[in-house]
Amino acid sequence: MSDSPWLAAAITLFLWWFSTGVILWRVRVADNGTSQDHLKSVVLGLPLLVVGIVAAGASLPDLSSGGIYLAFLAALALWGWIELAFLSGVIVGPIKLPCPPYLHGMGRFWRAVGTIAWHEALLFGTVVMLGLVTVHAANPFAFGTFALLFVARISAKLNLFLGVPRINTQLLPRPLSHLASYFRISRISAFFPVSVTALTVFSALLLERAINVTHPGMTVGYSLLTCLALLALLEHWFMVLPLPDEKLWRWMMPPQKTLSMKPQKDHLEDANGL
């Protein structure tokens, strides 16, 4: 396989756009179906998880460009299945209700954590397992890819919680509609410049390694991670700059069926009981 860093960047960009679109498309189709369609999506997607596990293991001793791409794709497969399970509302957290309007500060924070706790625990557990199996392996890029995605996602979620000017909820699936109540549309918090600065510096460090490393496979690996880090940085700026980022995927989505809304009695009872 080619050792070109430009090809690595192009592949990363395409996979970021295409894989995100496929997952959003499948979740929208399930949204328009029956109440069991989201669970069916996750079950039918299990081969993706298995492929990711097998490919990650197969990539460990192989530091060629082919092995690097295999590790990268393995991490994306693992990430993709977990994200499908999250967006489908199958692996989320114990709290599945909107945030009561009277909650502020740490009370609001811990309730928000409760909405995504199982998902974050699964992501963290996967990071730890990949770290353990790659610590003495020749090819660590399955771990590097997944860990980068995990840290960037945590940063993005914290920014959504603390406050940013632009939050796109148009593609938020029905099982996660309650999450919008935990987002805050406001001026940027102090965390935003810290997060984008950290991502910028990390992207620069990865780029330096991609340029100066002498091993062809390592050049490909660092090029993949550099492009992925820059895309994570771009996603952060989407929360601030007036860019129509939803148009990247909205054209792929079937129209969403409307549902009649009823008063959420359970939510009111839950809120009054806190």
Q: What is the pLDDT along the chain (274 residues), one digit of tens a residue?
A: 677 888 999 999 999 999 999 999 999 999 888 879 999 999 999 999 999 999 999 999 999 999 999 999 999 999 999 999 999 999 999 999 999 988 999 999 999 999 999 999 999 999 999 999 999 999 999 999 999 999 999 999 999 999 999 988 888 899 999 999 999 999 999 999 999 999 999 999 999 999 999 998 899 999 999 999 999 999 999 999 987 777 788 777 788 776 543 333 333 333 333 3
DSSP three-state, residue 221: helix
DSSP three-state, residue 164: strand
User: What's the predicted TM-score (pTM) here?
Assistant: 0.90
Cα–Cα separations (whole angstroms), residue 117 to 95, 96, 132, 163, 181: 9, 11, 22, 20, 16
163 backbone φψ class: left, alpha, beta (φ>0; ψ -120 to 50): left
Cα–Cα separations (whole angstroms), residue 191 to 198, 207, 222, 228: 11, 24, 27, 21
Tokens of 26: 């499948």
Candidates 11, 41, 10; CA nearest to 24 is 41
64 backbone φψ class: left, alpha, beta (φ>0; ψ -120 to 50): beta
Q: 268: Cβ–Cβ under 8 A, 6 or more apart, which residues? A: none
Compute, in degrees rounded to 10, the torsion defined by CA atoms 234, 238, 242, 247: 100
Compute, in degrees rounded to 10, the torsion defined by CA atoms 117, 121, 124, 125: 180
- For residue 105, count other CB atoms closer than 10 A to its CB: 7
Contact between 250 and 19 (Cβ < 8 Å): no
